[in-house]
Structure 1
Amino acid sequence: MELGPLALMLLVLTTCGDSEIQEPPRMAEEKPVPPTAEDVFADDFWDTAELVWNDEFDGDALVGDNWIFETGSHGWGNNELQNYVVDDNVEVSNGTLKLIAKKEKSGTADYTSTRLNSKKTFRYGRMEIRAKIPEHKGNGIWPALWMLGSDIKTVGWPACGEIDIMEYVSFDPNKMHFSIHSTANNHVKGTQITSGPLTLDTIEEEFHNYGVLWTDKYLKFYIDDMDNVKLSFLRPATYNEDNWPFSKPFYFLMNIAVGGNWGGLEGVDDAIFPATMEVDYVRVYQVK
């Protein structure tokens, strides 16, 4: 990406936050045996994957054991304009989670939004989120579905690694992006691994499945169907924590940023608010 996805940087250059960041309490981490003995490149490798964790957003409230709010209005290292708040900008109804960005004063910010982190972490698997992007009304929002290494607080960004399952900026409608970030490959250096803009004409009108197939040897990103892979990144032949920080647990993040270095490139049109991203489900499948 030109200016990068919701990439977290330690201290000033971090979208996950600066010294104000709140580290989510973690549940017991999933630590499956790495599938090094399996042929992860076999055509039928993912056929035996089993659902190990999911949230279908049934009922009328978030499942507290699954998610934690991350809050703040300090710009998140990207000069973002929103204040992430608790409760007021989420709704669970009719089988979907609604994340809502609003034009309203909140502290020093002129906008409010929501940022949710999963409490549980995962290592390897098929990670899939079914979602619908906010209706396109104009410039200024930056929704994302992504993952970060759970050691972010100790090693910082980009050493923790980042997996961007879906990013969208409303000044460029009908398109989405997949990306990964590491110490060796990140937007600050101009070396990020990214699909670039992918055309998806119904992204604002319909639900789509955004997924990543993650093993100890590759990351493969797809839209709607596992066979529809749009970005593949193979583990380097000579790999280390700098170029492959993807052999450890990661957690999910879902949010809508307002403005920012990328989302606000062409300004913010206040007529677009409220802007709502709907999430039908988050699912994790693993090969046992």
Structure 2
Amino acid sequence: MPRTAPFFGSFLYVFFIAFSGCSQNMPAAPQYTFATTPSWQDEFDYSGKPDPAKWSYNLGDHGWGNKELEDYTDKTENARVENGQLVIEALKEKSGKADYSSARLVSKGKGDFLYGKFEIKARLPKGRGTWPAIWMLASENNYGNKGWPDNGEIDIMEHVGFDQNRVHGNIHTKAFNHSIGTNKGNNIMVENASEAFHIYAWEWTPDYISILADGKEYFRFTKENAYQWQEWPFDKPFHIILNIAVGGSWGGQKGVDDSIFPQKMEVDYVRVYPLVQKK
């Protein structure tokens, strides 16, 4: 009888044992999940000004690098909690050097986060010239020019009033940003974005950023092995920003319809769930 078959079988056995040993020694790719209980949240179950332990204000009428037309204030007329919801309201009125007033709330210094799952339930304003956003910036400037875009930006929800029911998610870095035409992002249609509340969420891990609307992922940015801070500055703490801009380089591309004001972005809750790594 030929002896080639037993030899081949022995070879396969040795190969299997060797391969099994190698696979057991190889580190498993990390798998991520998130805690089921928020570590930071605002349910807006109070009335008056936004909780000063959680929120501060960005103030000013200098255009914010985007040729915006509003003056951001800390007035109750522009930011308040009522009926269990945060209300950010843009008004047509003289304020500072601007012809509109609004508010821009930030969690910086009071809610700074490194990774996690974030959920914000919100109803958006409506009308040409509005530019609401739910987004994040780095809490400290560690890289490059010590500012934007080198230290990163995560846009979870941007909406421009001239394109109703479409929301956008993007990231900006030194290598990938709109000023050089390389920003990474996507958009999705959200029906009744200004009539109903929707959940805007993002998952942020050491390996990827995923942006979702009502549980549907519509953009994912994955860290590649070759990436340095120029492509991925997202391993430092960031903070949450909620605002309505008026006009600007994007929101004002088709002008501002003054007849629409006042306009509100209403937020039912903000919840942050810490990341858990499973191996």
Given the two structures, how large is their TM-score scaled by the length of structure 2?
A: 0.84
Question: In the alignment, residue 258 of structure 1 is paired with which amino acid?
Answer: V
**1:210 aligns with one of 189, 197, 200:** 200
2:41 counterpart of 1:54: yes
Q: Distance in 1 between matches of 2:173 and 2:36?
A: 27
Residue of structure 2 equivalent to 1:145: 134
The alpha-carbon deviation at position 127 of structure 1 amounts to: 1.1
Residue of structure 1 equivalent to 2:102: 113
**1:72 aligns with one of 36, 46, 60:** 60
Residue of structure 2 equivalent to 1:176: 167
Question: In the alignment, residue 116 of structure 1 is paired with which amino acid?
Answer: L
The alpha-carbon deviation at position 46 of structure 1 amounts to: 2.2
Cα separation, partners in 2 of 1:169 and 1:255, compared to 1, 3 Å: same
Specify which structure has the higher proportion of helix: 2
- The superposition leaves residues 84-114 of structure 1 with CA deviations (integer Å, 9 ceiling, x where unpaired) of 0112311211110000000000121100000
Residue of structure 1 equivalent to 2:254: 266
Report if aligned partners of 1:150, 1:160 keep a CA contact under 8 Å in 2. Answer: no
**2:153 aligns with one of 151, 158, 162:** 162
Report if aligned partners of 1:114, 1:255 keep a CA contact under 8 Å in 2. Answer: yes
**Percent of residue pairs bearing the same amino acid type:** 46
Report if aligned partners of 2:35, 2:273 keep a CA contact under 8 Å in 1. Answer: no
Q: Distance in 2 between matches of 1:49 and 1:240?
A: 32
Query: Structure 1: which 4+ aligned runs deviate by more than 3 Å?
Result: 37-41, 47-50
Residue of structure 1 equivalent to 2:80: 91
Q: Distance in 2 between matches of 1:46 and 1:128?
A: 15
- The superposition leaves residues 233-286 of structure 1 with CA deviations (integer Å, 9 ceiling, x where unpaired) of 110221211000000100000000000000000000001100000001111101
Residue of structure 2 equivalent to 1:31: none
Residue of structure 2 equivalent to 1:235: 223
Q: Distance in 2 between matches of 1:107 and 1:99?
A: 18
Q: Distance in 1 between matches of 2:90 and 2:56?
A: 17
Bigger radius of gyration, 1 or 2? Answer: 2
Moved more, 49-58 or 246-255: 49-58
Moved more, 81-90 or 211-220: 81-90
Query: Secondary structure, in 3 states, of the residue corresponding to 1:271?
Result: helix
Q: Distance in 2 between matches of 1:95 and 1:176?
A: 24
Q: Distance in 2 between matches of 1:95 and 1:249?
A: 29
Given the two structures, how large is their TM-score scaled by the length of structure 1?
A: 0.81
User: Structure 1, unaligned stretches of length 5 or more?
Assistant: 1-36
Query: Secondary structure, in 3 states, of the residue corresponding to 2:80?
Result: strand
Residue of structure 2 equivalent to 1:255: 243
Query: Secondary structure, in 3 states, of the residue corresponding to 1:51?
Result: coil
User: Structure 2, unaligned stretches of length 5 or more?
Assistant: 1-26
Query: Secondary structure, in 3 states, of the residue corresponding to 1:105?
Result: strand
2:93 counterpart of 1:104: yes
Q: Distance in 2 between matches of 1:46 and 1:259?
A: 39
